[in-house]
Amino acid sequence: MATNKNPLLLFVIITLLTSSQSSHATSPTVVSVADFGAAGDGRRYDTDAIQSAIDACSSSGGGRVLFPAGGSYLTGTLFLKSGVTLEIEKGARILGGTRQEDYPAESRRWYVVLAENATGVGITGGGEVNGQGERFVVREEARKNIMVSWNRTGDCEGDECRPRLVGFVDSDRVKVWNVTLNQPAYWCFHLVRSNNISIHDVSIYGDFNSPNNDGIDIEDSNNTVITRCHIDTGDDAICPKSSTGPVINLTVTDCWIRTKSSAIKLGSASFFDFKKFLFDKITIVDSHRGLGMQIRDGGNVSDVVFSNINISTRYYDPLWWGRAEPIYITSCPRDSTSRAGTISNILFVNITAVSENGVFLSGSRGGLLRNLRFRNVNLTYRRWTPYPGGLYDYRPGCQEMVNHTTAGMMMEHISGLDVENVKMRWSRGNLEGWEVNPLAFRPSTVNKVSFTEWRSDVY
Ligand SMILES: *[C@@H]1O[C@H](CO)[C@@H](O)[C@H](O)[C@H]1NC(C)=O
Ligand SMILES: *[C@@H]1O[C@H](CO)[C@@H](O)[C@H](O)[C@H]1NC(C)=O
Ligand SMILES: *[C@@H]1O[C@H](CO)[C@@H](O)[C@H](O)[C@H]1NC(C)=O
Ligand SMILES: *[C@@H]1O[C@H](CO)[C@@H](O)[C@H](O)[C@H]1NC(C)=O
Ligand SMILES: *[C@@H]1O[C@H](CO)[C@@H](O)[C@H](O)[C@H]1NC(C)=O
Ligand SMILES: *[C@@H]1O[C@H](CO)[C@@H](O)[C@H](O)[C@H]1NC(C)=O
Ligand SMILES: *[C@@H]1O[C@H](CO)[C@@H](O)[C@H](O)[C@H]1NC(C)=O
Ligand SMILES: *[C@@H]1O[C@H](CO)[C@@H](O)[C@H](O)[C@H]1NC(C)=O
Ligand SMILES: *[C@@H]1O[C@H](CO)[C@@H](O)[C@H](O)[C@H]1NC(C)=O
Ligand SMILES: *[C@@H]1O[C@H](CO)[C@@H](O)[C@H](O)[C@H]1NC(C)=O
Ligand SMILES: *[C@@H]1O[C@H](CO)[C@@H](O)[C@H](O)[C@H]1NC(C)=O
């Protein structure tokens, strides 16, 4: 076209290109829930008004549904539809209902905001989604709060029957950014069988004493990127799980985490593979466990990198899973009917930890840990809480809890362990439950080991 000297022809071509582009672009619809009759007073239910706004926006080709600042929009389950992004303005919040009738009949669909089988959906705006988790506490207890359980109808059994906060199920092109997710009654942010997910600048808060308020659960989903998140919860903070399919391509960077459980945990639902994960530039503060894998159901883990991570882990009440391990990599069959999964090609690089317990690397006979590499790892061990130590924790299932003196690194059923530039520093003070025992191996189960520039000192 550069050689075409006819200005009129060039003009015609440009006009054609421009008009064909604009005929493809549909201008996004912006609707306000206020125009659909939402009161936003935090008392009257706005469920129908908001759902009408979402449906209208989606059927006109998609766009944004605006929640104006200043409003508290009390609602039952909202079904997010293809093409729609909820824009909750700063100072506005969606408030989840606290009655069972606010949610659908099937417990698997109990969410405050739920996208099912949707494409191009999201949440943003600087505002908040709040599940009123505090209203689901039956009794505050110092060790762990006792929660409501909606198990009367029989659709959900046991003590974990409460609504989650936000869910994307069977969805594609999900984007959640610049929003606060507060006080879920149960899991906070749940991705299920979804693909192409971007999460950034999201802040998550759940009561430190309430169980099951997981931060982000990434289940059976591929291609997820999470960055600049701030997660402060009682239960696990970032938790990939595989129940009906694998989890592939997960990247988490620039996050801050505090939890009374595991900051990062693969499993324990682990029926399919976990592949190609990167956790980079993460700060883990005062948590019960740092980087964890609880593989129990036959899925295999491979190609995971943990880099540039600062960790502090401490004991809490043993009612909460975790034993203050900065790194906890385990694979064993959950019970006699389960299969073992292998964990291979795992790299830990540039990790600094201060912790009350050692690193735990435990495979099993059928579930080897293969090719683990440690590079530039700085471990400091000291005790600052009064909880007793001296237990190996294989929960859930397997050998449960086993009395054992603590070691700086405990290792069993490993083939390929390559350690380079790793320091262990031991506090001279109170190390109750410990012997200053840098390394513990289960005899004849650890093979292909290399230690270079490895140091252990009392300070
Ligand atoms: C999911 O959406 C696709 C495309 O819109 C549709 O063909 C399919 O029937 C939907 N499936 C379910 C289970 O709703
Ligand atoms: C988040 O939303 C607020 C309010 O709309 C806006 O001022 C701010 O720039 C947004 N931040 C990001 C990172 O998008
Ligand atoms: C229902 O939940 C309560 C409260 O957690 C629990 O004590 C009870 O065992 C549960 N009942 C059933 C049938 O699951
Ligand atoms: C993820 O990728 C795997 C392997 O390609 C595929 O089997 C699975 O269905 C994908 N999951 C989703 C939710 O797209
Ligand atoms: C994710 O969606 C974006 C936007 O539609 C697209 O450009 C990108 O190729 C998709 N990526 C994957 C891995 O599907
Ligand atoms: C994982 O990411 C790689 C590189 O971006 C891509 O080629 C591959 O298709 C992705 N896997 C899945 C299952 O989407
Ligand atoms: C970890 O701590 C070191 C030393 O305090 C600091 O230089 C580094 O930026 C921290 N890294 C992260 C990811 O917080
Ligand atoms: C895990 O790997 C083993 C050995 O390669 C294989 O037999 C098994 O099927 C894999 N598990 C899954 C869930 O694919
Ligand atoms: C580890 O830290 C060193 C020194 O700060 C840096 O040069 C290197 O790129 C880091 N490695 C990774 C994988 O981030
Ligand atoms: C290791 O970590 C400790 C505690 O955070 C710190 O004081 C020390 O300087 C670190 N050492 C190295 C070599 O990074
Ligand atoms: C560990 O030992 C203590 C003291 O002997 C005992 O009370 C406790 O039951 C043991 N725990 C386990 C899990 O074996």
97: domain CATH number? 2.160.20.10
The pLDDT value given to residue 26: 59
User: Contact 259/233 with Cβ under 8 angstroms?
Assistant: yes
Domain identity same for 450 and 397: yes
Q: What is the model's pTM?
A: 0.93
The verdict on 226 and 266 lying in the same domain is no
229 with 156, same domain: the answer is yes
Number of continuous H segments (helices) and E segments (strands) in the chain: 2, 34
Residue 8 CB partners (closer than 8 Å, separation 6+)? none
Ligand 8 site, residue 300, Cβ cutoff 6 A: yes
Determine, yes or no, domain membership for 22. Answer: no
CA 223 to ligand 5: nearest atom: 13
333 and 451 belong to one structural domain: yes
Strand order in the sheet with 189-192: 78-80, 111-116, 164-169, 189-192, 216-219, 238-241, 262-268, 289-295, 325-331, 359-362, 409-412, 439-441
170 and 213 in a single domain? The answer is: yes
pLDDT category, 18, cuts 50, 70, 90? very low
Q: Which of 177, 207, 235 is the last residue of a domain?
A: 235
Q: Are residues 418 and 304 in the same domain?
A: yes
> In the prediction, which pLDDT does 429 show?
74
Q: Output the pLDDT for position 430.
A: 66
Convert the pLDDT of each residue in 65-89 to its tens digit: 999 999 999 999 999 999 999 999 9
Band of pLDDT at residue 28, cut at 50, 70 and 90: confident
Pocket of ligand 7 (CB under 6 A): 281, 283, 308, 310, 352
Q: Tell me, yes or no, whether 5 lies in a domain.
A: no
Amino acid found at 76? G
Give how far the C-alpha of residue 150 lies from the chain's centroid of Cα atoms, to the nearest Å: 24
More confidently predicted of 427 and 208 = 208
Reply yes or no on whether the pLDDT at 11 is more than 50. no
Structure-block tokens of residue 246? 């694998």
State how far the Cα of 101 lies from the Cα of 118, in Å rounded to an integer: 24
Choosing from 217, 235, 253, the residue where a domain stops is 235
Q: Cα of 204 to ligand 2 centre, how many Å?
A: 16
Q: How many domains does the chain have?
A: 2
Does residue 433 sit within a domain? Answer: yes
Q: Are residues 193 and 282 in the same domain?
A: no
The pLDDT of 174-186, averaged and rounded, is 98
Same domain, 125 and 269: no
Average pLDDT (415-421) is: 98
Does position 1 have pLDDT exceeding 60, yes or no? no
Q: Measured from the CB, is residue 367 less than 6 Å from ligand 8?
A: no
56 and 204 fall within a common domain: yes
Residue 161 has pLDDT above 80, yes or no: yes
Q: Which residues pair with 280 in a beta bridge?
A: 253, 307
Task: Pick the last residue of a domain from 186, 215, 235.
Answer: 235
pLDDT at residue 102 is higher than 50 = yes
pLDDT of residue 201: 98
pLDDT at 323: 95
Residue located via tokens 């790194």: 327
Q: Is 426 helix (H, G, I), strand (E, B) or coil?
A: strand
Atom of ligand 9 nearest to the CA of 350: 1
* Cβ pair 346, 371 in contact under 8 A: yes
Kindly state whether residue 193 falls inside one of the protein's structural domains: yes
224: Cβ contacts below 8 Å, ≥ 6 apart? 191, 197, 198, 199, 218, 249, 250, 251
For residue 313, being part of any structural domain is answered with yes
- Residue 215 and residue 99 in one domain: yes
Q: Are residues 33 and 177 in the same domain?
A: yes
Residue 402's CB: how many other CB atoms inside 10 A?
11
Tell me whether strands 369-381 and 301-313 are parallel, antiparallel or unpaired. Answer: unpaired
In a domain, 16, yes or no: no
Q: Is residue 305 part of a domain?
A: yes
Q: Are residues 168 and 257 in the same domain?
A: no
Is 14 within the bounds of a domain? no
Structural domain including 308 reads 243-459
Amino acid 458: pLDDT: 87
| Ligand 5 lined by 275 (C-beta under 6 Å) | no
| Candidate from 248, 300, 331, 338 with most ligand 8 atoms within 8 A of CB, to mutate | 300
Residue 396 has pLDDT above 60, yes or no: yes
> What pLDDT does residue 433 have?
63
Residue 22 has pLDDT above 50, yes or no: no
**Residue of 20 and 340 predicted with greater confidence:** 340
Structure tokens at 142: 């110092």
- 67's enclosing H/E stretch is strand 63-67
Q: Give the residue with greater pLDDT, 87 vs 427.
A: 87
Cα–Cα–Cα angle for 185, 132, 82, nearest 5°?
Answer: 75
What per-residue confidence (pLDDT) applies to 459? 78
Distances 455 to 184, 324, 325, 346, 427 between C-alpha atoms, Å: 44, 22, 19, 21, 14
